[in-house]
Structure 1
Amino acid sequence: MSWIIIAGAATASSVFVLAVVNLYLYLTYRERFMKFWAYAWGVHTCRYLFLIASVIWPEHLFLRDINYLCIIVSAVLLLTGTRIFIGKPVGRLETLIGLVIGSWTVLAPTLRLPAPYVVVPIFAFLSYTYIHTGMQFLKSLPRRPTSRITGWLFVLWGIHQADYPILRPIEWFAPWGFIIGSILATSIAMGLVLIYFERTYQTLREKEERHEQLIASSHNWIWEVNANAVYTYASPQVLDLLGYGPEEVVGKTPFDLMPDAEAKRIGAIFAAIAARQEPFFRLENTNRRKDGRLVVLETSGVPFFDSQGRFCGYRGMDHNITERKQTEVQRELVKQVLLVLNEPQDLKGSLAEVAHLIQGHMDLDAVGVRLQEGDDFPYHVQLGFPRDFLIKENTLIERNPNGESCRDEHGRVRLECACGLVLSGHVPKGHPLSTPAGSFWTNDSSLLLRLSPDQDPRHRPRTECIRQGYASTALIPIRYKDRIVGLIQCNDRRSDRFSVEVIQHLEGIAAYIGAALIRRWSEDERINLEKQLQQAQKMESVGRLAGGVAHDFNNMLGVIIGHAALGLMETAPGHPCHDHLEAINAAAERSAELTRQLLAFARRQAIEPRIIDIDDAIANMLKMLQRLIGEDIQLIFEPATRMWPVLMDPSQVDQIMANLCVNARDAITGTGRIVIQTGTVVADADYLVNHPEAELGEYVWVSVSDNGCGMGQETLPHIFEPFYTTKGIGEGTGLGLATIYGIVKQNRGFITVRSEAGQGAIFTIGIPRHRGAGAGPPRQEGNHALPTGSETILLVEDERGMLGITCALLKNQGYQVLASGAPDEAIQMAGAYGKPIDLLLTDVIMPGMNGKELAEQLKAKHPGLRCLFMSGYTADVIANHGVLQERIHFLQKPFLLPTLASKVREVLDLPC
């Protein structure tokens, strides 16, 4: 039986190795089933030891019984571990049977039963246990070679256990039985280990795939750095975040990807954290992309250690928070912009601060703000633009080769460039470079050069931005109510500086600027209205004073002019007094002209409006105007192609043009140019913003511009004030522009002026369009003999001197004159006169009764009486704000004899 000892020892050794291997695996991986397997193979090793002992000491039958008991316990432990391994619950039935069989193994020897009664139940249980375990492997585990082979080995081992009671007594087979059992047990143990490692590998592979999928689905960049802060791993997301591939990042440090100042700051922070081997979270840091752009990342990391507990580095992730930081910056920018716009300072100063804020927060090369000034949109504020750029781009008005502004079919000035496109509101909807709010932007200005003409929405393209190297351009409209009044211009030489979100943010800032403009301009409008009210009150006071002065002064001038005329008629040209009388007459006429200017300024001048064409009126006086300004100054007249008629006294057109041209002439030193332009305009709510003195309606406008010395801002507020002049003593009265202002207001028009020192001046006058039918008769000019007559004239004048000289002049022309110094006396004289009276020639302003009331009383008694009023100041008795009432005949004092004779004859010849 020595072969049993040798075979048992060999089998025990191999099974013991399996027990040690499983015990090691259990202690390493702490898998519960490994513990049961280790115990099973350990007990199985003991089984062979007790078998050898029972052979050596056959007299000790308990050794054989312990051998059988070890076989049963080993089988139960192996079955339990296997069920745990395959995820099945531990079988209570098998455990119970094992306890019963174990008890039977202990009790059977005491009953002195034959050996088969003891052995058969034991090996029947073992056979069932191993075959059942094998079937569990075949059913429950994946169909892989290892699991299937192991399952069948368990089945074979179970069959081998079943044949043990039968074949064991056969002496020649017994050694082979031990060998077969040892091979099956060893193979099964190795198969279990291989199945475990296969499953472990599969689990690790699934974990790795899950880990890779999680990394792939993450927007964050996963990384690992060693103890020296050198990247040893970088996930593919680094390409999206920084533009580098993972292989480009590995071997670098995080600080290699940062600007120098940021690298120094973050390096100090990371060194302190790594020295304490602490985790860190949400550490904000700025990195530079491969293309040069900056991105802000939020970094979190935890330390990791090797099996010996030594610090190995950090693992973590980076999250892109650039958009969030931009939003924070934008919110802060909006906050500061609102604070600036609500500060009580001038508009230009506020916009300059806003431009600085935009440039600083957005890191832009250049920022400008254009605001409307008349028809143009010059830079109100600009930062960072080169001087030569500003010289070329400050104005947007399109001009023809003669330097004249171009207009569209509606009379609006045409604007060039993409700026003009935005400011005119003509940005096409859906254009790739536009937004629904009317903005125009691009990150590659060179694209504008490649647009075909039918795709280019600009009226006349400019390329100065491209020549200056500005790759990124944004033009954001500023709106006042429903009208575009300016724009924000942002330029940068770097590409990809703007996005839809950034443009929308700038559109929000533009809206705040527009709201600020509404507040500022509303306040300015209120202040202007107050000034206009004060000016109107002042003008009314001056007008009353001028009217009073003119009434008495014109009477005295009338006496002087009349007596001088009579003296000249009675004195031969060679008489010593003839020259003196002409000098008196000339001085009196200049004084009368001064009085007329004063009345025109005060809007008290009596006028006779006619339906006229402004272009014709100006064209008829061009030669006179050219003589007036001299040959050294070029006079250019640019009439409109189609004009509306106006209702206006032609003489007032002469006064306006003469005064404006003389004013322009005096502003020009040496040679120069004066341009007269005309046109039509519909004054709507938008138009009134820049022309607050106008009212809603249709206007004919006339502008007179020059390239003279211009006026400073300290002069402009005073130019329409009476007697205000910048000329030297004796060079001007200061009534020229005041006269124009009075005439314009008398005709319900408006006047504006734009000027800067050294930049010339542009005066624009608007006169309401006349929609009535018919045209006034042309003025008759030329030299004619003084008309005479023999009719009877009732002359009423409260100024005795004026009464006497007028009576003498009329009698000199052959008329019968009834002279009266008061209205009551005139009524009595008319009643006492027994003959018909052909004409009432009366002063307007008289004590007790005015001329109109006198005429009404006399016409009630003398129905065919014709009336001619005369005055130096009508005081609205026969005129509304200087405009003569219908069918009123008027003679302005002081008058010359030809004027008196012609007017009297004209009225007498009218039908009753």
Structure 2
Amino acid sequence: MIAVTVKMDTRDLLTAALDSLTIQVATVDPEDGRILFLNEAAARSLSGSREELIGTSIYEHFPDRVSAGRERLRQTLARRTVQHFESLHVLPDGRERHFESSYTPTMNEDGEIVAVQIISHDVTELRRAEHANRRDSEIWGVVSDDLSLTGQRLRAILENAPIIISVSDLDLTIRYINRVPEGIEVGHVIGQTPLPLLTAESQQTLVEAFERVRVLKAVTECRLQGTSDRSWVARFAPLIHDGEVTQVLGCSLDVTEQMQLQAQLASKRRLESLGTMARGIAHDFNNLLTVILGSSGLARFRGRATDGVSSLLDEIDAAAREAADLCEQMLVYAGRDQASTKPGNLNQVIDEFSSLTRAAVTANIRVTYRLQPDLPATTCNRAQLGQVVLNLINNAADAIGEATGEIVVSTDVFEVGERLTEFVPDPPAPGRYARLCVNDSGRGLEPEDRHRIFDPFYSTKERGHGLGLSVVLGILSTHGAAISVDSAPGAGTTMTVLLPLHETADLPGDPVSGTSFWRGGKGTVLLVDDEDLVRSAISAVLREGGYDVVEASSGDEALALLAAGEPPVGLVLLDVTMPGRDGWSTLRELRETHPTLPVLLSSGLPQSPPPGDPFAGVLAKPYSPTTLLQLVAERLKPSERAR
């Protein structure tokens, strides 16, 4: 047993230690539930003082849970081992709190149960964190050893508590500690200060905390970061003798997992904010590009353009399409683009991008490929998956720098049997995956960098823009895939990607663009869009194609025109993103009265055709006049085309 050098007897010291805890500790008589001992936290929960509560029955303080309390004691006495329970308490103000408790029988030398120790703590916040992130969190282990008013039994509680409890001199020298962090021996701590175990910043924080306790004689709390990548929340209370602070009682809880969970939630929120911003920009930008392409097409058709003018119009069209590609990439970066996917082979994608890889890697770096033959297909966007491979190899090359090194790219099939919590953005579900590993012999990552490398605009390189790996994460998110990082300073880095194997039928190809649809149309098109510029440009294209056009600036206006029946409408060109009633709501409403009316849903954001509606299709903005006129001609009712 470790000696404790304090200027008070052991019973008082350990009672003070229990009183400094936030968990509730009580000792009760096994026969009638009479309270024999309780700490300050338990007394506060029962709204009384220790002196008032000792000797009273535990049942009289919980009249609505007498049966449950007796049953818990009965189970503990019958099984003669520690029993764990969880309960939901409704506070007087209506708030609900979750408590986890352990009931531990204390036996004398003859094996008779003479007392039952009840230890409870509030786990409400842990339960909320588990629910918010859909993750299983380990909860504090409940103290389960003997408890009694004797010093020996009180010491047993401290040594089995799920928190680190210490007694230190004012110069931070540790005189007693109930447990030490994993990998550290007690003999290396007793008689020493904990400063070598902490980062430089946390060393200063700890020194300042001890100064506050000594001067203010009050409880203080701080957060400490260890050199072993562990984090603690520490609470310090003064031990006072004859009016002077003689030593400091410390209680430290390892909060590493909680901090990692908070960091993951914060990273998700940042990506969600970036995605929301990207969607807004892409929507407005694609509307403008639709106007540009429409106006360019009209100018080309109406103007009888010379070769020089035609060349300029071609450049306008090409620039608009490149801008549209940039919008798509921006949505991919933000993880908001539902990428066009089809079955593909990961090995083939790696081979297709090998030429770009060779151009990106300098001569001092060797790239080795270890690809599993006959790798099953995955459902992917080949271009985007190639970008993932290229970005990961570029990142590995940057980590090696100018030194001689090697990058190993490998693939195989990997079976996930249990939750792999190190993967982001979400742990993969159990099943078979195509695994891509990119390993480099570079400098490795510091722990603080490893947790942030997927954050947008974060970079460990002096001139890096911090988008490479955030792009990777965004693309993988749209593919239902996940990635993990294994790295340590001086030990290189391995990026592991898990891609779901292909399980669905091949996707249909893109429609073939027509080239001869100008002035060949007949019928009436109802054009619904809240943007004046878009309506003006598209209505001009439709009229040039031979169609009559009725315009509406909102979903409600469109429904009113359809209800009036004049003029008869053969097709609706319907914008999806509008204030008030959007395109989807408008479509559902008009299907009540026009179940077979052709509808083209138009949007500057990725959309899927409505399921179960063969008369509705999707036209992605921006689109060329020829593409618009082709789709209108294909979908317009034959009766309307004959008008």
The higher-RCO structure (CA 8 Å, 6+ apart) is 2
* Greater share of residues in strand: 2
* Greater share of residues in helix: 1
Question: TM-score by structure 2 length?
Answer: 0.50
